[in-house]
DNA sequence: TCATTACGGATATACGGTATCCTTAAGGAT
DNA sequence: ATCCTTAAGGATACCGTATATCCGTAATGA
């Protein structure tokens, strides 16, 4: 069970986009260069964000991506689910149905609508994970970053993004 | 990001073992037959549980596995971590170090000891997930099962396990 | 002694993640 | 009107890991 590269990239890209001037578009190439990740592959993650309605892209020169709404209306869960999907981490293969001592009627009751105790516990934990991610917004990340990063670095990063427009 | 078969099997096996008479050993073959899963593969999950000290195996005829301690001292997290490992779900590849505007000293400060804001949020969610799993014990599962399952099915399951000794 | 069992190494296979390439359509600049 | 740039998305090759099986070994009780 592991989250992979694209999720991390997407989160960092959103952080960069959130710090940009409003209405400013940033192309995939710049985001890829800035993070040092393959452009074509990062593009897939950005497309996922676009399909989820978190960012929107525009074509042509001076095109690229920007956020569709304010950073305080985008949660970590939004980004993670956009890239990683909304499938629950625990998948029930319905082992129950294999029990050798089931009657036909009991076997027919083993449906998705009646999940067993094990699945309920695992899904509750899944919900706790998602609730935690939902409780942090992109604006919170920006605030943390502004205290974590030195003013000099923040200025240099902004300058780098400016000259690559 | 997905939990796979062996975790589900391990949880169900623990539930069965918890319902057994104390000091009774149940071999891998019976556990595999009861759940309808491949015996050799299930064996790997049981070995993981054994290494984690949740179950213990004994050799020879009438051998098999049993729990090492009472069901109220085994949590879901114990079982999940034994099979799935203790690695955090979010792996930080240290993208920061690729930022084009870092000085040498800043780059050297990007260590595991100083995780960035993104990683901290993801790990907090990971902790929430584990806390949720830790809060449910095997004894809780048994209690739920005893009310969920019909008395007839419980009797039949116990009988099946008895005649396969 | 013998059958049975856990244990762990080795191995084969399948699947999904990783990464790249290419085509298409659309927007802006000239 | 034309050209360049860019998102969008399909196709594909590659690789690693998960899945699954097999076998040898040691230990245990009958
Ligand atoms: S987790 Fe529950 S629902 Fe899923 S297979 Fe196991 S018993 Fe059935
Ligand atoms: S998550 Fe944070 S620590 Fe991990 S790579 Fe991204 S910036 Fe660095």
User: What confidence tens digit (pLDDT) does each residue in A70-85 have?
Assistant: 999 999 999 999 999 9
Query: Is the predicted pLDDT of residue A58 greater than 50, yes or no?
Result: yes
3-class state of residue A63 by DSSP: coil
Residue with tokens 């991610």: A133
Q: In terms of Cα–Cα distance, which of B1, B29, B51, B4 is closest to B13?
A: B29
Report d(CA A55, CA A105) in Å as an integer.
49
Instruction: Determine the distance separating the centroid of ligand 1 and the alpha carbon of A138, expressed in angstroms.
Output: 36
Instruction: Determine the distance separating the centroid of ligand 1 and the alpha carbon of A122, expressed in angstroms.
Output: 10
For residue B37, the ligand closest to its alpha carbon is: 1
Q: In terms of Cα–Cα distance, which of A153, A45, A54, A133 is closest to B120?
A: A133
- Give me the half-sphere count of Cα atoms (radius 13 Å) on the Cβ side of residue B52: 22
**Residue B74, phi then psi, degrees to nearest 5:** -125, 120
Which nucleotide's C1' is closest to A57 (Cα)? D7
B10 with B49: CB under 8 angstroms?
A: yes
Report d(CA B97, CA B107) in Å as an integer.
6
Report d(CA B90, CA B111) in Å as an integer.
16
**In this predicted structure, what is the pLDDT of residue B97?**
83
Mean predicted lDDT score pLDDT of chain A: 90
Structure tokens belonging to residue B91: 């792996």
Report d(CA B37, CA B3) in Å as an integer.
17
Q: Which of A16-30, A47-61, A136-150, B110-124 has the lowest mean pLDDT?
A: B110-124
Report the run of H or E that residue B64 belongs to, with start and end.
strand B64-67
Query: Is the predicted pLDDT of residue A120 greater than 90, yes or no?
Result: yes
Q: Tell me the three-class secondary structure of A64-127, residue by residue.
A: EEEECCCHHHCEHHHHHHHHHCCCCCECCCCHHHHCCCCCHHHHHCCCCCCCCHHHHHHHHHHH
Q: What percent of chain A has pLDDT over 90?
A: 62
B102 with A157: CB under 8 angstroms?
A: no
The residues facing B26 across adjacent strands are B65
Query: Is the predicted pLDDT of residue A1 greater than 50, yes or no?
Result: no
Which residue CA neighbors atom 4 of ligand 2 most closely? B92
**In this predicted structure, what is the pLDDT of residue B134?**
97
Q: Which residues of A touch B76 (CB under 8 A)?
A: 121-122, 125
pTM over 0.85: yes
- Mutate-to-test residue for ligand 2 from B90, B96, B122, highest number of ligand atoms within 8 A of CB: B96
Query: Is the predicted pLDDT of residue A106 greater than 90, yes or no?
Result: no
Is residue A16 very low, low, confident or very high in pLDDT (cuts 50, 70, 90)? very high
Q: Which residues of B touch A100 (CB under 8 A)?
A: 33-34, 36, 160
Chains A–B, number of C-beta pairs less than 8 Å apart: 150
pLDDT of chain B, 165 residues: tens digit per residue: 455 889 999 999 999 999 888 889 999 999 999 999 999 999 999 999 999 999 999 998 888 999 999 999 999 999 999 999 998 999 888 888 888 877 878 777 777 777 889 999 999 999 999 999 999 999 999 999 999 888 988 888 888 888 776
Query: Is the predicted pLDDT of residue A97 greater than 90, yes or no?
Result: no
Is the CB of residue B135 inside 7 Å of nucleic acid strand C? Answer: no
Q: Is B32 in the pocket of ligand 2 (CB under 6 A)?
A: no
**In this predicted structure, what is the pLDDT of residue A39?**
93
The residues facing A26 across adjacent strands are A65
**In this predicted structure, what is the pLDDT of residue B3?**
53
Report d(CA A5, CA A8) in Å as an integer.
5
Is residue A164 very low, low, confident or very high in pLDDT (cuts 50, 70, 90)? confident
Which residue CA neighbors atom 5 of ligand 2 most closely? B94
Closest atom of ligand 1 relative to the A119 alpha carbon: 1
């Amino acid at each position: 069970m592991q989250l992979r590269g694209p999720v991390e990239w997407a989160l960092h890209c959103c952080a960069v986009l959130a710090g940009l001037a409003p209405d400013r578009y940033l192309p995939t190439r710049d985001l890829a260069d800035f993070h040092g990740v393959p452009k074509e592959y990062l593009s897939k993650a950005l497309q996922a964000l676009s399909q989820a309605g978190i960012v929107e892209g525009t074509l042509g020169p001076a095109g690229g991506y920007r956020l569709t709404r304010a950073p305080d209306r985008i949660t970590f869960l939004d980004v993670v689910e956009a890239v990683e999907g909304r499938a629950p981490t625990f998948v029930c293969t319905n082992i129950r149905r294999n029990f050798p001592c089931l009657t036909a009627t009991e076997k027919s009751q083993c449906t998705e609508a009646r999940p067993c105790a094990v699945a309920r516990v695992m899904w509750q934990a899944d919900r706790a994970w998602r609730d935690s991610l939902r409780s942090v917004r992109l604006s919170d990340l920006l605030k943390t970053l502004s205290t974590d990063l030195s003013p000099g670095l923040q200025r240099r990063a902004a300058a780098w993004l400016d000259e690559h427009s």
